Amino acid sequence: MKITEIRTTPLRVPYKTPYHWSQGVVDSAVVILVEVHTDANITGYGESIGTPSSSAIQDHLRLAAKWCIGRSPFENAKLLRDAYHALFQAFGTCSSPRYAGQVFAGLEMALWDVMGKAADRPVHELLGGAIQQEIAYFGFPQGETAEQIALHAGQLAKDGCDVIYVKVGRGDLLDLAIVEQTRAAIGPERRLRLDPNEKWGPLKAVRMIRKLSEFDIEFVEQPTDCESLSALAQIRASSPVAIAADQLAFTPYDVFNICRERAADLIVLGLHETGGITRFRQAAHIAEAAGINICIHGLYETGITTCASNQAAATISNLDDGNQYMNHLLEWDIIKLPDLTLKKGRLTPLKGPGLGFELDFDAVQEAKKYFLDS
C-alpha cells in the first residue's frame, strides 16, 4: 500500500457558548482536516489544530506531505521523522518540536487511521491492546461568572462526574468566588481541580494556593509560566496542594525533565502537543517509570481528536481517572459515529477500525463554509 495524496482543509466548528479562561475567550474550534489517500482505496483522517494561523499550519502540512507521497503509511514513525528533519532541521535555521507537534499531529492520526482500517482493527489493538476498560473524564463546567460555572458544575456532579475541573487565573476575587461556589455546588465528595493557565507568578501562586486550599483542592495545574521548570518545581516543593504540569510538557524530553526535577505530581499530555499517538505514548511511559500519572489534555478539537485520544489512552497503564474532554463544547461535530456522549463521565475504548469514527461529510462542508465566512 502506498500513499497517493494528502489533502488538507481548514474547518471551524462553533462552541455552544464562549469558552472563558485566563488567556481570553474562544468561540469555536479551528482545525485542519488531514486526509491520507492510498492506492488501496483506504483513506485515513486526522486533524491538526488550526490556531493561531491556519494558513501556516496548512503550508507546513503540504511540505510534510511531499515526504509521504509514494511511501507506505506503515512507515508512520519514519515518515514523520523525515518530514521533521526536512522542515525544521535540514537548514540549521530552527528546531521546533512543539510547533512541529501541532503541525504533524493530524497527519500522524490519519496514518494510524489508515493502518487500522487496512488491518480492520481499532488502533489500540495495533498498539498492543487496551488495558483500560474505560476512560474517565472530568466534568468541565463553562460560564463567564462564578454563578454560571457553579450551576453547571453542580449539574455535572449530578450526572456522575467524580472530578470537576475549573479555570481560574481570571482575577483574585473572581477566582475565589468560582472555587467557593463550585465547591458548594458539587458537595464535599467530588474532587475539585483548578487551572490558572500560567497566570500566576511564584509569589502569587503560593498566596493563592494557600487561600484556595481550604476548599479541598485536588491539584492546581500549571500555575506558573511554562518557560520555567524551576518555578513549577519551587511551587510544588512548598505547596499544600498537589501540582500538575501542562504547558511545560510537549515532548518526551520535557516529561523526563519534569520527572527528574520532581516538578509535578501529575503530567497533562495531549496528542496535539506531542505530535500524535506515538510520542504521546513515549512521553506517558517516561512518566510511568517515574511513578507519575498522565492526564489527557484537550484543546480546540473535534470528535476526531476525541477518538484518537481514546485509542491511545486505552493502552496507557498510568492513565489518570480524570481526563479532559472538549467534545461537549461543540455546537455540532464533524463525525457521525460513534456516539461520544459520556456515560457518568466515561467512555469505553472504541471498537471500530482505525481511529473508530465515521466522518460526517455534510458537517465537514458546513464547517468549511463556517471557516470561510468567519
pLDDT digit string (tens) for the chain, length 374 residues: 999 999 999 999 999 999 888 888 999 999 999 999 999 999 999 999 999 999 999 999 999 999 999 999 999 999 999 999 999 888 766 778 889 999 999 999 999 999 999 999 999 999 999 999 999 999 999 999 999 999 999 999 999 999 999 999 999 999 999 999 999 999 999 999 999 999 999 999 999 999 999 999 999 999 999 999 999 999 999 999 999 999 999 999 999 999 999 999 999 999 999 999 999 999 999 999 999 999 999 989 999 999 999 999 999 999 999 999 999 999 999 999 999 999 989 999 999 999 999 999 999 999 999 999 98
What is the DSSP secondary structure assignment for residue 239, as one 8-state letter? Answer: -
Cα pseudo-dihedral 300, 60, 279, 91, rounded to 10: -140
Helix orientation angle between 202-212 and 172-186, rounded to the nearest 10 degrees? 30
The Cα–Cα gap between 3 and 69 comes to 5
Kindly state whether residues 117 and 194 are assigned to the same domain. Answer: no
What is the DSSP secondary structure assignment for residue 51, as one 8-state letter? Answer: -
Kindly state whether residues 195 and 313 are assigned to the same domain. Answer: yes
Kindly state whether residues 220 and 112 are assigned to the same domain. Answer: no
Domain that holds residue 178: 129-356
Kindly state whether residues 92 and 165 are assigned to the same domain. Answer: no
How many domains does the chain fold into? Answer: 2
232 pairs with which residues across the strands?
Answer: none
Kindly state whether residues 37 and 63 are assigned to the same domain. Answer: yes
Report the 10 Å Cβ neighbour count for 51.
15
Specify the CATH number for the domain of residue 94.
Answer: 3.30.390.10
Specify the CATH number for the domain of residue 234.
Answer: 3.20.20.120
Q: What is the pTM of this model?
A: 0.95
Return the SS3 of 122: strand
Kindly state whether residues 190 and 323 are assigned to the same domain. Answer: yes
Kindly state whether residues 196 and 305 are assigned to the same domain. Answer: yes
Q: In the 3-class helix/strand/coil scheme, how is 57-119 assigned residue by residue?
A: HHHHHHHHHCCCCCCCHHHHHHHHHHHHHHHHHCCCCCCCHHHHHHHHHHHHHHHHHHHHHHH
Number of H helices and E strands in the chain, helices first, is 13, 13
CA 275 to chain centre: 11
Q: What is the DSSP string of 261-273?
A: TT--SEEEE-HHH
350 pairs with which residues across the strands?
Answer: none
What is the DSSP secondary structure assignment for residue 133, as one 8-state letter? Answer: S
Q: Which of 186, 36, 205 is nearest to 111 (CA)?
A: 36
Kindly state whether residues 135 and 101 are assigned to the same domain. Answer: no
The Cα–Cα gap between 106 and 101 comes to 9
